[in-house]
Amino acid sequence: MILNQADLAKRLNSNPSTLGRHQKKGEEHFSQWSKAKDPEKLAWKYSETKDNSKIFVVAK
């Protein structure tokens, strides 16, 4: 599953700036935080596309 920043913010009942703040705290922190917020308890991680778009994918 791949979501953009706005869609993941909606899924986590948050907002894009909060996602950005938690993402800056590191990949492990973001995965744990997003897993706690996700309705299906999925952990997420940040990824960047070739055109520098921010996307988020389910962490494995």
- What is the predicted pLDDT for the residue at 12? 99
User: To which H or E segment does residue 34 belong?
Assistant: helix 27-37
Model confidence pLDDT, tens digit, residues 4-40: 999 999 999 999 999 999 999 999 999 999 999 999 9
Contacts of the segment 33-36: beta carbons below 8 A, 24+ positions apart: 34/8
Confidence (pTM): 0.89
pLDDT above 90 (res 1): yes
Tokens representing 59 are: 């962490």
- What is the predicted pLDDT for the residue at 59? 94
> Rounded CA gap, 18 and 60, in Å?
22
